[in-house]
Amino acid sequence: MRSLLSPEGRSALAGLASARNPLFAFDFDGTLAPIVTRPDDAQIPLPVSRRLGALAARRMVAVVTGRSVADVNARLGFAPKYVVGNHGAEGVSSSQAEAWARTLDPLRSTLRAAKSQLSACGVRVEDKGLSIALHYRTAADEAVARAAIEAVLRGLADELTVVGGKCVVNVVVRAAPDKGDALLALASECGADTGLFLGDDDNDEPAFAKLPPHWVTVRMGPDFARSQAAFYLDGPSQMATLLQMLLDLHHPP
């Protein structure tokens, strides 16, 4: 895998400038916003949000996140054309959203019954409507917290599946779209012939795998060696540099 700031990466970015209608899509946590101890404290650095706003004024920009749409909208500081939440399940038109939410109801009952046990291990449950996250970043013993989560999720219904993350276990509805499905749907809706997608976690890998090879796909952070993305960046600290490169390439049409 090559660095996006290498000559090969810069050439790929320059190719987007000549595309008819590119889509620029970004994950939130660990990509636009640095990972923090408490997810509620996450925010985009001002130099990044300003450049994102400038890019969104010129090109189609999307934020595709594991957070709910309402949660992430309050944290952006700019107005992208599209916001997709819940790992791809929220924000793309679907008549199945209510059914997907109901599919999580048995798990909700299980988690309510295990609330004291999980809390004692430092696990925080976040119900996002179309997915449920079990956070353990602040747990005193991460191994104990992970074991408690595994015990509660043992025998998970076939309609549900687990997606790993950085100190979080996400439960999603198997039939719901993932980030790859969501990005392909957005590209079709807006007529994008190519694009860029950056993400940093396991729930971004379906997008790296499903997007056409002429897209520029980028894994953020030190886990890039096992990724299906074409390029990598060291982390969110390089976002302002990347966005300035994109702004320099993508002048107002």
Domain CATH code at residue 78: 3.40.50.1000
Of 134, 158, 173, the residue that ends a domain is: 173
Q: Are residues 106 and 86 in the same domain?
A: no
Q: What is the pLDDT of residue 252?
A: 54
End of a domain among 173, 193, 219?
173
Cα 61 to Cα 68: distance, rounded to the nearest angstrom = 18
Q: Which domain holds residue 36?
A: 2-94+177-249
Q: Which residues are catalytic?
A: 27
Same domain as 28, residue 79: yes
Residues 82 and 204 in one domain: yes
Considering the domain architecture, whether residues 15 and 108 belong to the same structural domain is answered as: no
- 149-163: per-residue pLDDT in tens? 999 999 899 999 999
State residue 94's pLDDT score.
73
Both 74 and 184 in one domain: the answer is yes
Which tokens hold the place of 123? 């696990």
8 Å CB contact between 183 and 64: yes
Please report, rounded to a whole number, the percentage of residues in the chain having pLDDT higher than 90.
87
Q: Do 47 and 110 belong to one domain? A: no
Q: How many domains does the chain have?
A: 2
Do 19 and 69 share a domain, yes or no? yes
Same domain flag for 184 and 234: yes
Q: For the sheet containing 2-3, what is the strand order? A: 2-3, 231-233, 216-220, 195-199, 23-26, 60-64, 82-84
207-229 pLDDT, tens digit each: 999 999 999 999 998 777 789 99
